[in-house]
Chain A
Amino acid sequence: MNAFRLLRKYISMLFQSAMEYRASFWLTAAGHFIVTFTSCISVLLMFERFGQLEGWTMWEVLLCTGAVQTAFTLAECFGRGFDTFRQLVRTGGLDTLLLRPRNIFLQIFGWRMDFTRIGRFLQGCFVMVLAVSHLPSLWFPAKLGVLALMVLSGAAIFTGVFILGATLCFWTVEGLEVVNILTYGGQEISKYPFDIYKKPYLVFFTGIIPYACSFYWPLLWLTGRSGSAWCILAPVLGLLFLIPACCIFKLGVRHYTSTGS
C-alpha cells in the first residue's frame, strides 16, 4: 500500500513540474499528436489506393494501429525512466536510488515520466473509437474488454523491452541504437497484422518479443477470423514477458559498478 502511495506522490510531483512550463508542454504534446496522426493518415491513404490488404479491411487494420499506438504511448509515458536509463548510469544518479530502502523499479518509474505523450495517447484512442464505430461486430462488452486487454498487455511488453534496453546500459554505459529496432520498430511492425509479413517475423514476435501475442492473435479473435481461446489468452501470456525482463534487470543491478562521476 505504501508503494502505491509513493507512486501516486511521484506521479503528482512529476505532473506538477511538467505543468510549470505549460505552453511548452502543450506544444510538445501537439507535436506528438502530429507524429502519430501522419502515421495513421499514411495507413489510411494506402487503403484508399489499394482497397484492402490480404483480406483485411481498412478499419480492422486501423483498430490494430490505434491499439499499438496507445499501448506504446502508455509505455513511453510511464516507462520513460527506463527509456532514458543511460543518463542514470552515466551520471551516477543510480547510486542515489540504490541507497534508498525502496524498490528500485518503483524509483526508476518515479524518476521520470513524460506526460507530453498525451498527444499520442488521445490520437491512438481516437483512432480506436473511430475504428470500433465502423466495425459493428465489435459492439459487445467481451470484445471491448479484449481490446482494452490488448492495449494493457502491449504497454506492459513495450515497458519490458525498455527495461531490457536499460539493462544493456550496465554493460555498455551508452544506450544502443539496436534497442530502437525492438521498441520503435516493434511499434511500426505491429501496426499491420503480422500475417502480411514473412513467417519468421511472426515466430520471432510471438515467441521472443511477444508483440504479436498482444496485438495480432487477439485481433484474429476480435475480427472473427479465429474462435480459439488461445487468441484471448495470448495477451495474458504476453504479460509473462515482464518476469524474465525484470529478473535480468535485477541481475544487471547486481553487476553494477558506478561510473564514479
Chain B
Amino acid sequence: MKMYFSLFRMKLIAGMQYRAAAWAGIATQFFWGFMVIMIYEAFYRSSSAGNLPMDFDQVCRYVWLQQAFLYLFNLWNRDNELLEMITSGTVSYELCRPLELFPFWYARLLGQRLAGTVLRCVPVLMIASLLPGAYRMTLPPSVPHALLFLAALTVAMLLATAINMFVYILTFKLMNAGGAALIVSAFSEFLSGSLIAIPFMPKTLQYVLYVLPFRYTADFPFRFYSGNIPMTEGLWSLAAAVGWLAVLCLLGAVLMKRALRTAVLQGG
C-alpha cells in the first residue's frame, strides 16, 4: 500500500511542475465556461418558462464546477506513456516489478488527476465567485451539503479513474492506442452529462443514464452542489456511486489479469 501511495505522490508532484500549462488551462476553462453558459442562456431566453428542469443559476454553478474539476472527473484523459508501453512492449518492465499492475497504474492515474485539478480548481472557483448576478459561483447552502459534496467528489474521482482503466485494458486486447480511448471517452462523456446536463435530456434517456455508472462522475456531484438534487436523494446516490466503484474496480482488476495472461509482448 505504501508503495502505491508514494507512486501517487510522485505523479502528483511531477504534475504540479507545469505551472504555465495550468494558467493556460485556466484561460481555456473560462473561455469554455462562458461559451457553454451563453448557449444555455440563449436557450433559456427563447423558451416559454415552465418546462425547465434546472434554474439558470443552478446551470451556471454546474458549468463552473465542471470547468474547475475538469481534470478530476474527465473521462477522455489518457496517459500516452502507458498506451505507448502497451503497444510497444515496454510494459514488460512494468510487469517485472513486484507490484500488481492494476493498483499500480490506478495510483499513477489518480495522482495525475489530482495534480491537474489542484492547480486549476482554486483560481477558477475564486474568479467565478466574483462574477455578477446569476453567473456567480456560490457556497453550498449548508455544512452537511458541503460534506456530502466533498464525499461525492472524492468518489467521482475514484470512479472516473476506474472507468478510465478500461481504456488501457481494451488497449491490451486491441493493440491500438487511439481508437479504444476515443470510443470509450466519447461515449462516457455524453453519458456522464458533460455535453449537456442530464435533466435536459428526454425522460426515457434519463432513466437509462440513471442506471449507468457514468453520471456519478459529473452529473451527480455537480447537480447536488448546485441545489438541483435534494439531500436524501443525494445520500442514496452516494451509496450507489460507492457500489459502482467497488464493482468497476473489481471487474477492472480481474479483466486486467486476464488480459495480461493472454498478452503478447510486441517488439523486442
Contact B202 A48 (CB under 8 A): yes
CB-contact partner of A52 in B46, B180, B202, under 8 A: B46
Tell whether B122 is near chain A: CB-to-CB under 8 Å.
Answer: no
Contact A38 B28 (CB under 8 A): no
Complex CA gap A122/B159 in Å reads 34
Contact B42 A196 (CB under 8 A): yes
Q: Which of A42-72 contact B (CB under 8 A)?
A: 42, 45-46, 48-55
Contact B31 A42 (CB under 8 A): no
Q: Which of A174-196 contact B (CB under 8 A)?
A: 176-178, 180-181, 185, 188-189, 192, 196
Contact A178 B46 (CB under 8 A): no
Q: Could you mark each residue 160-178 of chain B with 1 if its beta carbon is under 8 Å from any beta carbon of chain A, else 0? A: 0000000000000011101
Q: Which residues of A contact B31 (CB under 8 A)?
A: 181, 185
Closest to A39 in B: B195
Tell whether A34 is near chain B: CB-to-CB under 8 Å.
Answer: yes
Q: Which stretch from A25-33, A96-104, A237-245 is at the chain B interface?
A: A25-33
Tell whether A35 is near chain B: CB-to-CB under 8 Å.
Answer: yes
Number of residues from A at the complex interface, CB < 8 A: 39
Closest to B25 in A: A177
Contacts between chains A and B (CB distance < 8 A), count? 104
Contact B38 A196 (CB under 8 A): yes
Q: Which stretch from B5-13, B60-68, B181-189, B257-265 is at the chain A interface?
A: B181-189
Tell whether A140 is near chain B: CB-to-CB under 8 Å.
Answer: no
Q: Which residues of B contact A116 (CB under 8 A)?
A: 178
Tell whether B207 is near chain A: CB-to-CB under 8 Å.
Answer: no
Q: Could you mark each residue 8-40 of chain A with 1 if its beta carbon is under 8 Å from any beta carbon of chain B, else 0? A: 000000000000010110011011101101110
Contact A46 B43 (CB under 8 A): yes
Tell whether B27 is near chain A: CB-to-CB under 8 Å.
Answer: yes
Q: Which of B23-77 contact A (CB under 8 A)?
A: 24-25, 27-28, 31-32, 35, 38-39, 42-43, 45-47, 51
Q: Which residues of B contact A38 (CB under 8 A)?
A: 186-187, 189-190, 195
Contact A30 B46 (CB under 8 A): no
Interface of B is mostly: helix
Q: Which residues of A contact B47 (CB under 8 A)?
A: 50-51
Closest to A45 in B: B201
Q: Which residues of A contact B21 (CB under 8 A)?
A: 177
Q: How large is the interface on B (under 10, 10 to 19, 20 to 34, 35 or more residues)?
A: 35 or more
A186 CB to nearest B CB, Å: 10
Contact B38 A49 (CB under 8 A): no
CB-contact partner of B182 in A23, A34, A42, A197, under 8 A: A34
Q: Which of B188-228 contact A (CB under 8 A)?
A: 189-190, 195-196, 200-202, 205
CB-contact partner of B38 in A31, A52, A198, under 8 A: A198
Contact A53 B43 (CB under 8 A): yes
Q: Which residues of A contact B45 (CB under 8 A)?
A: 54
Tell whether B179 is near chain A: CB-to-CB under 8 Å.
Answer: yes
Q: Which residues of B contact A177 (CB under 8 A)?
A: 21, 24-25, 28
Q: Which residues of A contact B24 (CB under 8 A)?
A: 176-178
Tell whether A41 is near chain B: CB-to-CB under 8 Å.
Answer: yes
Complex CA gap A42/B205 in Å reads 12
Complex CA gap A192/B32 in Å reads 14
CB-contact partner of A188 in B35, B175, B182, B187, under 8 A: B35
Contact A181 B28 (CB under 8 A): yes
Closest to B174 in A: A27
Complex CA gap A27/B167 in Å reads 13
A sample of 24 cross-chain residue pairs with beta-carbon separation below 8 angstroms, ordered by A number, consists of: A21-B176, A24-B178, A27-B174, A27-B178, A30-B179, A31-B179, A31-B181, A31-B183, A32-B182, A37-B186, A45-B200, A46-B39, A49-B200, A49-B201, A50-B43, A52-B46, A53-B42, A53-B46, A181-B31, A185-B28, A189-B35, A192-B42, A196-B42, A197-B35
Residues of B near any A CB (own CB < 8 A)? 21, 24-25, 27-28, 31-32, 35, 38-39, 42-43, 45-47, 51, 174-176, 178-183, 186-187, 189-190, 195-196, 200-202, 205
Extra inter-chain contacts (17) besides given A46-B200, A177-B21, CB under 8 Å: A24-B178, A27-B176, A27-B183, A34-B182, A35-B182, A38-B195, A39-B195, A42-B195, A42-B196, A49-B200, A52-B46, A53-B42, A176-B24, A177-B24, A181-B32, A185-B31, A189-B35
